[in-house]
Amino acid sequence: MKRFWDQATVSTVDSAGGGGFTVLLDGRPMRLPGSGILHLPGRALAEAVAEEWQLAGGGKGGEMRLEEVPLTRVAATAMERIAPDPAPSAEAIASYGGTDLLCYRATEAPLAARQAAEWQPLLDWLAQACAAPLRVTEGIMPVAQDSAALAALAQAVAAHPPLELAALGVAVPALGSLALGLALSRGRINAAEACRLAFLDESYQQELWGRDEEAAQRQENVERDVHLAARLLTLARQ
C-alpha cells in the first residue's frame, strides 16, 4: 500500500482506553485489521513498532510492504487473535512436544553421537525446568511421550502472556521443537543457538555433500523468524 504518513510516534494510552502504549501515524492511532487500536504493554515494544513504520516505504508516498513491519504483524496477531482466548494457541504450540525434533535421532553413528552431545543436555534441562522428561528414539517412527510430561509442557506454554505466545507461535513451528522454543523463551539459549541446534542434521549433510541452495534458503527463512520471535520476547518483557 502507499505510505500516507510522515511521522510514526509513540503515545501513552490512559487507563480508560485500556492503558499501555500505542503508535500514532501523523497523530492518528494505528488500528488493527479488525479496526481496534493497537495497544502495546511496554514503551520499548511500542518504540520498535513505531520505528518499523517510520522506515517502511521509504517516505510518504512510497510503496509499503507488510514484510517491512514484522513486529507489528506478530503483535497484532497477539492482541487481536490470541488475547481474547489464548487456550487454542497455547494448545497448538504445546502439541509440538509430542513430536519434538530433539527426540528423533539418526541411525548413522557419527550424526547420532553429535545429536546426543548437542541435544540431550537441552532435553535434560527441560526435564528439570518443566518436570517434562521426553523419550528419545532412533529413526523417524513416532515415539509416545508420557502424558504427564506433555501436560507439564502444556502448562509451561500456557503460562506465557499473549505477546509471548505469539512469539512462540513463530519460533516453535519454525524450529520444529517445543524444547528449543521454551529454552529460547527462558533464556537458556539465544536465537542463533536455537537455529544451529535445529539445523544440526543439515549441517552434517552439508559437511558430507556440500551446500544445498534450497536447504540454505529454508534455513535463512527459519533464522529470520526465530530472530524475530526472540526480539519480540525481549521487547515484550521490557
pLDDT in tens, 200-214: 999 999 988 888 888
Instruction: Tell me which residue of 24, 63, 21, 65 sits closest to 43, measured CA to CA.
Output: 21
| pLDDT score at 19 | 75
Residues carrying CATH 3.30.2180.10, the chain = 8-82
Q: In what order do the strands lie in the sheet with 8-12?
A: 8-12, 21-25, 28-29
At residue 182, what is the residue type? L
Give the pLDDT mean for 48-60. 92
Instruction: Tell me which residue of 161, 162, 154, 160 sits closest to 131, measured CA to CA.
Output: 154
Report the distance separating Cα 194 and Cα 89, nearest Å: 21
CATH 2.60.40.420 is held by the domain 87-236 = no
Q: How does pLDDT run across 137-178, given as a tens digit for each residue?
A: 998 889 999 999 999 999 999 999 999 999 999 999 999 999
| pLDDT score at 114 | 97
Mean pLDDT, the chain, whole residue set: 94
Q: What is the distance in angstroms between the CA of the first residue and the CA of the last residue of the chain?
A: 31
Longest pairwise C-alpha distance within the chain = 62
Instruction: Domain 8-82: give its CATH superfamily.
Output: ATP12-like (3.30.2180.10)
Contact 175, 222 (CB under 8 A): yes
Percent of all residues in the chain with a pLDDT value above 90, rounded to a whole number:
82
* Grid cell locating 231: 526480539
Instruction: Tell me which residue of 167, 176, 169 sits closest to 235, measured CA to CA.
Output: 167
